[in-house]
A and B are shown apart, each in its own frame.
Chain A
Amino acid sequence: MATDLATPPAKAARKARKRRADKVPLGTALLRYRWLYLMLLPGLAYFVIFKYLPMYGVTIAFQDFLPFLGYSGSPWVGLKHFEALFTGGDFGRLLFNTLFLALLHVVFVFPAPIVVALLLNELRLNILKRSIQSLIYIPHFLSWTIVASLTYVLFAADFGVLSGWIREFLNDTAKIDYMAQEEWFRPLIILQQLWKMTGWGTIIYLAALAGVDPNLYEAARMDGAGRFRQLWHVTLPAIRPTVVVMAILASGNLLDTGFEQIWLMTTSLNRDVANVFDTYVFYAGIQNASYSYSTAVGLFKGVAGVILIFGSNWLAKRLGQRGLF
C-alpha cells in the first residue's frame, strides 16, 4: 500500500526499492528520508482534504437531501434518483448529445495539437517557430465567456462580420442565425475548441519532440530517408507514448463536455442538441435545487469516466503500448 502512494516508476526500480526497504528497519528509513517524507505531506494532505473527504458528499445521491436537514437528517431513498434518471425522458438525448460531442472532440480536437506540433517541428527558422508558438497559446488564456462573445460578434445574424462575408460570398441574402441553428451548434462548438485549445495542447507534444535523439534523424538521412520517411519512422514512434498517455487521460474526460462553453452557446432553438450531462446537472441541481438528483447524475458520469479510463488503459496495454498504470 505504501508503494502505491509513492510515484510509480518502472517496475524494476520499484522491485529494487522494495527489496532495499525490506532490509532497512523502518525507523532508520524514516529518519534517513525524513525530509522526503515531509515533502510528501502537503501533497498527501491536498488529496485527502480536497479530493477524498468531499467524496463523502456523494452519499446524498441516495437521499432526498435538504441542506437544512443535513446529511444525517435527510431521508434515505435508495436508488430512486438513479431510476428517475435512467427511466426519465431526457436520458437518451443527454447521452447521445454528450457522446456525439465527445466523438467530434476525439476526431477533430484531439489530433489537432499533434498536427500543429509536427508542423512547428519542421520549421527551420527558430524565431518564427517561437513567435508562432507564443501566439497560438493566447486563446488558452481567454475565458469561454469571451470566446462566446467573439463568436457572437462574428456570427450574429444581424451584423456578424463572418456571417456578412459568407452572405456576400454565396450571394445569398437570407440572414442565417448560426448561433441559433441546431445544425450549426456542434460545428461552432468544435471550432471554438479548436481555436482555444489547439495551441496550448501543442506544449506537451513539442516537449516530447524536443527529446528525440538527433542521431536517429541523422541515421535515417544516411539511409536515404526523406522528410516524410523521417516523420513516419522517427518522429511519430518517438512521440507515440505521449500520444497514448494523453489519449488515456482524455478518455476519462470523455463525458466532460465542459459546462461553461456549452451553457453559453445554448439557446431555445438548439437546446435539443445542446443539452449535455454537465448543463443538465446545473439546471436540475442549482436552478431547481434538486441536489440529490443532480448528484446522482454527476456520480453516474464519474463512474462512467472511471470505467473508460481503466478500459482504455487496458486496451492500450493489449495493443502493446505502455499504459498509465
Chain B
Amino acid sequence: MSAPRRRLLVGVLTLTAALTASACSGGGSAPQTDPNTITFMSKLFGTAPEPTGEMQQALEKFLGKKLKVTWVPNAEYSEKMNVTLASDNIPQVVVVDPHMPAFVKAAQAGAFWDLTDKLDKYPNLKPADAQSALNSSINGRTYGLYRMRPLLRSAVVIRKDWLKKVGLEEPKTIEDFYQVAKAFTEKDPDGNGKKDTYGLIIPKWPGDYASASPYDVIETWFGAPTGWGERDGKVVPGFDTPEFVEANKWLKKMVDEGLVNPDFATLDSAKWNEPFFHGRGGMIIDVNIRSRQLFDLYRESGDKDYGDKVTMVGNMAKSDTEKFSYPFTGYADSLAISKQSVRTDADLDNVLKTLDKLATKEGQILLQNGIEGRNFEVENGDTAALINEDDPAVKTVQDNVDDAFVQFGTKGTVDIGGIAYQRVPSGQPYRDILDLQKKLVEEDLKTAVHNLALPVISATQIEKGAQIDKIVSDARVKFLSGAIDEEGLKAEIKRWHDSGGDQVIKEINEGLAKLPK
C-alpha cells in the first residue's frame, strides 16, 4: 500500500471517529442533582399522566417540588429495569422488586442506599409492619421502602350458578373441592347436554417454584411449607416434604380424570379468565381480586345478573381439624434510592424528606384516591366514593391515579385503604364480594403458613438461578401431565439438589441464623 493511500485511510478513519464521538456524547446526561426536582421510575398500567396535568400539578404543589417520572408499561417493566440498572441514568427513586437478581447484585455492589438504620429519623417512613419490612429486605438489610400489600390474597373463585345447578355447597375442605370439580365436569353444569366442561382452570404459569401458582397454593393446603419451612430443626424447600408429593398426586388424579383444563401447560396466563367467562371451566385458584375482574367481564358483556355468576371461598382445609392457608409476602416492590443520582448524605436526606411527606396521610390520599372534592368524596369518614365520573377532565384525574400515581403509594391499596381511604366500588355485588374478601382474609390469616426464607438471599441462588430454578417447577408440570412418574419427579428434585440446590439450602440456613432477631 502506498503512503498517500494510507493517508487517505487515516483521513477516513479520523472522520469516522469524530462522528462516533459526537454520537456518543449526545446520549448521556448528567445525574440529576437539582434539589427542587425529584426523579422517579415507576410502573404504568395505561396512559402516562401529562406532566402539566391536574393530578401531577396537585402532587407537585403538595410536595413543593418538581416531579420527573419515567413511566414504563407494566408488561415490560422488569426488562426495562434490567436495562436501567445497567445504565448510567438511574432515576433517584425507582419502584423495583427488591429480590430480582439484577437489583440484588446492584444493591450489594453499592448502587443503592442501604436505608437500614436511616429510616427512624423520619416519622412516616418507619416500617409499619416489621415482618413485611424484613421480608422485603436483602439478608436483613433494607434497600427500599416496601409497598404494603395484604398479607393474604389467595382464594378460590367459583361459578356461583354452576354450584347451584349441580346442587353442591361451597367447598370448605380439599375433599369438597374435589367433589365440586368432579360435578362441574360430569354433571353438565352449563346444561347444553354435552360433557364439555371441567372443574379447575390452571394456566401456563410464568413463575418458578413458590411463586403463588395454583400448584403452590394446593401444596400449602396439604401442609407443605409455603416455599421454605422448618422440618426437624432445619429449613428446607417445600418440595423436600412428603406433603408436596401428596398434593401433586391428588392434583394428578384430577388431571387424569379430566377435571382440569387439558391445556394447563400452555394456556396463556393473560387469558386465564376466558375459559371461566365462556363457561368452559368453573373454578380458579388465584388472588381474591380476580373475583371482581370476572364481575367486570360479565357486566361489560351486558349481563345484569353478574352477581349470580361469581362467588369466592378461602383456602381449603385439609381435614376438619387441620387447615393451612397460603399467605403472600405483605409487600409488592420497594421504592429504592439510587446512589448514582443521589450522591451525598445531604441529597439523601432531601429525597427521604420528600418521600416522608409522600407517606403522610394527605400524601397517600393524593396517590391512592386523588383530589378530594374533584374525583372523590369521603363517605362515612373512612371510605371514598367516586364523583363527577362523567366529566372527562375528572376522568383523566381518576385514570392518572389508577394507572400511574397509585404506584408510589407505600401504605395501602385501593382495596384495603391503609392510611388513605378505601375505595367503595359501585354495584352491590362488588361491595358484597369485597366484604366477603375481607372476612376470608381475616379467617385464613389465622392458619397462614409463612415462608421462612423470604428475607434471605442465597448467593448460589443468584448465581445459578437460571440453571436450577426451572428444574422443580418443570418437573411438577411434567408429573401432572404424565410425562414422568413419581420416581421421575423425585429424580428431578434430586437433580436440583445436585446442581447447586444443596448449597442453596446451606446458605439459606446460615443466612436465617444471621438475621437480626
Contacts and interface: CB of A to CB of B under 8 A. Distances in A.
Contacts of A200: none
Interface stretch (B79-87, B170-178, B319-327, B392-400): B79-87
A281 B101 CA distance: 15
A25 B470 CA distance: 66
Given A30-B8, A48-B16, A53-B20, A290 B463 contact: yes
Interface in B86-114: 86-87, 100-102, 105-106, 109-111
Give chain A's interface secondary structure class: helix
Contacts of A48: 16-17, 20
B467 A267 contact: no
Contacts of B483: 182, 269
Given A44-B16, A283-B466, A287-B101, A269 B111 contact: no
Interface in B155-206: 204-205
Interface in B453-481: 462-463, 465-467, 470, 473-474, 476-478, 481
Interface string A117-129: 0000000000000
A314 interface: no
B474 A152 contact: no
Interface in A260-299: 267-269, 271, 280, 283-284, 286-291
B517 interface: no
Given A158-B263, A180-B263, A269-B477, A290 B4 contact: no
B110 A288 contact: no
Contacts of B42: none
B265 A158 contact: no
Contact of B86 (A89, A158, A269, A291): A291
A41 interface: yes
A21 interface: yes
A291 B474 CA distance: 24
Residue of B2, B275, B473 ringed by the most chain A CB atoms within 10 A: B2
Residue of B16, B20, B87, B499 ringed by the most chain A CB atoms within 10 A: B16
B128 interface: no
Contacts of A40: 12
Contact of A45 (B1, B20, B101): B20
Interface in B467-505: 467, 470, 473-474, 476-478, 481, 483, 499
A90 interface: yes
A179 B78 CA distance: 26
A320 interface: no
B5 A2 contact: yes
B265 A268 contact: yes
A26 B9 contact: no
Contact of B7 (A26, A67, A271): A26
Given A156-B266, A157-B262, A268-B204, A66 B106 contact: yes
A314 B416 CA distance: 70
Interface residues on A, range: 35 or more
Given A45-B16, A67-B85, A67-B87, A152 B109 contact: no
A267 B266 contact: yes
A277 to B, nearest CB: 13
Contact of A269 (B12, B23, B105, B478): B478
Residue of B106, B261, B263 ringed by the most chain A CB atoms within 10 A: B263
A267 B204 contact: yes
Given A180-B266, A182-B483, A158 B19 contact: no
B297 interface: no
B105 A177 contact: no
Nearest to A88: B467
Nearest to A69: B109
B128 to A, nearest CB: 30
A288 B105 CA distance: 10
B58 interface: no
A268 B109 contact: no
A8 interface: no
Nearest to A28: B4
Nearest to A73: B109
B9 A1 contact: yes
Contact of A177 (B15, B17, B86, B262): B262
B110 A68 contact: yes
B280 interface: yes
B190 to A, nearest CB: 15
A22 B5 CA distance: 9
A238 to B, nearest CB: 38
Nearest to A293: B466
B268 interface: yes
B499 A89 contact: yes
Nearest to A159: B280
Nearest to B102: A289
A37 interface: yes
Contacts of B467: 88-90, 284
Nearest to A42: B19
Contacts of B465: 287-288
A157 to B, nearest CB: 4
A68 to B, nearest CB: 4
B109 A26 contact: no
A175 interface: yes
A174 B194 CA distance: 16
Contacts of A45: 15-16, 19-20
A290 B4 CA distance: 48
Given A48-B20, A179-B263, A269-B483, A1 B82 contact: no
Interface in B241-287: 261-263, 265-266, 268, 275, 280
Contact of A49 (B12, B23, B86, B261): B23
Contacts of A211: none
Interface string B416-441: 00000000000000000000000000
Contacts of A182: 483
B466 A290 contact: yes
B101 A37 contact: no
A241 B110 CA distance: 57
Contact of A25 (B4, B102, B466): B4
A214 interface: no
A68 B38 CA distance: 21
B453 to A, nearest CB: 18
B196 to A, nearest CB: 9
Nearest to A271: B474
A289 B105 contact: yes
A27 interface: yes
Contact of A68 (B15, B19, B78, B340): B340
Contacts of A69: 109
Contacts of B5: 2, 21, 26
21 contacts: A21-B5, A26-B4, A41-B12, A44-B12, A45-B15, A48-B20, A49-B19, A66-B106, A66-B109, A67-B86, A68-B85, A68-B106, A152-B268, A156-B263, A157-B262, A158-B261, A268-B205, A283-B470, A284-B466, A286-B82, A287-B78
Given A90-B467, A177-B262, 6 more contacts: A1-B6, A2-B6, A48-B16, A69-B109, A152-B266, A152-B268
Q: Which 7 A-B pairs have the closest CB atoms?
A: A26-B4, A289-B102, A68-B111, A268-B477, A67-B86, A284-B466, A180-B265
